[in-house]
Structure 1
Amino acid sequence: MGLAICVFCASNQRIDPKYLNLAAEVGTEIGRRGHTLVSGGGRVSCMGAVARAAREAGARTVGVLPRALTGIEVADEDADELIVTADMRERKGVMDARSDAFLVLPGGIGTLEELFEIWTARVLGFHAKPLVLLDPWGLYEPLRELVAGMSEQGFTRPHVFDAISWTTAVPEAFDRLERPVPRIPPSSAEMLESAP
């Protein structure tokens, strides 16, 4: 049985077409591997490209969209299941609950918010679902360097990068999504607190 894969990606239409092509490649791979797509429920930009390609490849698609964005992001009425939520917080909660794994594509600040929420929850042990970032052109490299620097300064838990896989190619990303995630060791502070 396939996974329900949540894809976080851009909904902005003013981007290089290569990102739309990447989203379509991801959607095709979701269908080819027998998975289900969970997305933000829009039919424009990368969000629309991944959903259309997934359906064309035979995948079931679930869109989750806040009521306030139904006009802005143009609801994906072709989704097999379209869930309209009261707000963004409910949207993310539904997407989280309906997903077995998370794939992050290049995107803007909304995509970053989704990435950090799932990444933080994984580091804290709130879930054990695979989290994979697909970055063929290095958009997120400054982010990786920033978090590495924060880690060196002691601002993150030691195993922050154990909670995420950084990839550059679609097949590699899906191989990581389908692989069981490693256990994240507790921090030294947690071990001290739990010591007899």
Structure 2
Amino acid sequence: MKQINLEPGMLYDGSQIKPMWAFQRLGLKGSSIVSWRGPMNIQPDELIDYEDVGLEIKSDEMLHFIIEHFDAQPADMRLCYHRQRILVMIVQNLLREIGIITHRKGDDLYCDGGKLSVSIASCSVSSMKIHFAMNITTQGTPENIKTAGLMECSENLDMLKVSKLSDNISKTYIDEILDIEEDISKTRVF
């Protein structure tokens, strides 16, 4: 599984969840995890979660992850949601290690009662996609939702530590997926 960190600043507008985005935009072929810091503003025509129709989904600065898997053909929505939950639990554990205590509800993380993250999983004919992002600050988030930002959840966090956190999340996710693959290959079946 390939991993790449992009330069800060790219807007997440929902189009990045489309299949083959990493290949078409970045030339990254195969299963991958792409991360970057940047704003989010999802337009209504890019929404894929029916529960989000009519809601504002935006933030001035988030830590984004786009994951695409090609290892199950046809793509499997249930497997994709399982992987999304694995990712969220990895993030929760890594946040705890740096002193940020969160509460998980499904695929969302909350800090001090404020919504810290957004996430969606989706499938195409050829791949499974996950978008996961955390607010770095609460600036630019919807006024009608109590939100949290990484900087507000920890007094010791700076952008260097956010970058290190991003790398740790990507590496830990890749290691977990590879470990599962290795366990599958060494297990006797009947």
Taking structure 1 as the reference length, the TM-score comes to: 0.26
Higher strand share goes to which structure?
Answer: 2
* TM-score normalised by L of structure 2: 0.26
